[in-house]
Amino acid sequence: MTTLNRNKPAKKGGRIIVLVLLAVLAIAAVWYVLRDTTPPTLTITPQQGFLNTESSLVITADDQGVGLKRLSIRVVQDGKDRISVDKTFSSALRHHEESIDLKGQPLSNGPLEITAQAEDRGFFLFSKSRKLTATLTLDTKAPRISLRSARHNIAQGGSAIVAFEVDEELRECALHVNEHVFPAYQQENGTYLCLFGMPWDIAPAEFHPVIKATDLAGNESSRNLPHHANARNFRHDRLNLPQSFLVRKGELFQKVFPNDPETDPLGRYIKINNVLRSQNRAQLRKIGLDTSPVPLWHGAFTRSPGATTANFGDNRDYYYNDTVVDNQTHLGVDLANHRNSPIEAANDGKVVFADFLGIYGECVIIDHGLGLQSLYAHLSRIDVQLGESIQKGQIVGLSGVTGLAGGDHLHFGMVVSGLPVQPREWWDGSWIANNITPRLED
């Protein structure tokens, strides 16, 4: 009688299970070894440019797979290791940022070569690494400012110009007066020219212009500007606000403050005269940066015909029903001629604004270079386009009553890097010849 072997199927099934387990283990082993085939990412900040002793080098390593195992950093100068960093991470760290302060390090001015290498935690021969090198320049010397003129005369509310040289390339350079900043512009011969103004509301004793220069490494120098400042007496004026005028300016209020619930004509006017005026002056500062780095004007600026109805610096008290309700300073010259009089450009330049500008209404601003710009406000019509080159005497538009004007006239202004200044100086050829031209020709 034949005996059946009932254990054979069981043994066969066991082998299959073993083989499956071995296959799973093999796949798991392959996955473990090959689960991250991408090397770490590595950055050096800054990657190029200049450094000073206040700078820091920041090396960032990332590995979102198996994690970081090691990071090494070398800063080499003149063929020698000046700074060395070696770090081994005990756990699978996925992100590390190393910051190296340069202050107090054994470095001298000149090129630095920074090399960083990051290695991940891949298994044996399958580990990946990334190497990155950057060359930077250490500069600890502040720029030297050399004035080309010893004395600078300026009047309260007026303009002046300074010429100077700097012994290295700069990141930025400007003359500072309190919160006012007047950029300097380098000329083809290397000289810097800075046209600046003395604010009308700063007394001579409080006027302290300072030139500040920052080189490419961030080193900063400053130099007080020798000067003689003259005080000016500005007249006081009284403006009555008729109800009819306040009502007419309601349209302007709705245009610039469309969601404001104020309905009182006087309240609307005061908001226009304060909030909108402040916003518009901020716009002038921004527009003032859109300028040619070289002078575009030639000779004296021309004055539009017409009677002067308001002067630069007039301190105005605004009356309503014999009560003072506001006070502002008039920062231009108002010229009244015939209704819709043609308005000519005061000098050569380029149109940098030709649109509605709040209290100024329809307005044209012409750039004459070095931050100097002329402003033509309250126009009834604009005849020039943004970006257009303009010749002295060219018609820019017609006078009108737009904006906050009470009657048909031209509000003419001169602006230096956003600061309104006395136009009468720029109408005076002798003043320009004595105070501006010599600096341009140094």
pLDDT tens, per residue, the chain with 442 residues: 445 455 555 666 677 776 666 655 555 444 444 444 688 999 999 999 999 989 999 999 998 888 899 999 999 999 999 999 999 998 878 899 999 999 999 999 999 999 999 998 875 444 688 999 999 999 999 999 999 987 899 999 999 999 999 999 999 999 999 999 999 999 999 999 999 999 999 999 999 999 999 999 999 999 999 999 999 999 999 999 999 999 999 999 999 999 999 999 999 999 999 999 999 999 999 999 999 999 999 999 999 999 999 999 999 999 999 999 999 999 999 999 999 999 999 999 999 999 999 999 999 999 999 999 999 999 999 999 999 999 999 999 999 999 999 999 999 999 999 999 999 999 999 999 999 999 888 6
Exposed, middle or buried: residue 256 (CB in 10 Å: 0-12, 13-18, 19+)?
middle
DSSP 230: E
Are 422 and 158 in contact, with CB atoms under 8 Å apart?
A: yes
In DSSP terms, 119 is beta-bridged to 70, 129
* CATH fold match for the domains 41-138 and 145-230: yes
Helices (H), 226-354: 243-248, 250-256, 265-271, 277-287
Contact 50/216 with Cβ under 8 angstroms? yes
**Domain ranges (residues) in the chain:** 41-138, 145-230, 236-427
The contacts of residue 146 (CB under 8 Å, 6+ apart) are: 164, 165, 166, 167
Structure tokens at 331: 């920062």
Neighbours of 190 (CB within 10 A): 8
The pLDDT of residue 122: 75
Task: Please say whether the structural domain 41-138 has been given the CATH code 2.60.40.1930.
Answer: yes
CA distance from start to end of the chain: 128
**Arch. (CATH architecture) of 236-427:** Distorted Sandwich (2.70)
The whole-number pLDDT of residue 204 equals 96
**Architecture, CATH, for domain 145-230:** Sandwich (2.60)
208-230 burial, b for 16+ CB within 10 Å, e for fewer? ebebbbbbbbbbebebebebebe
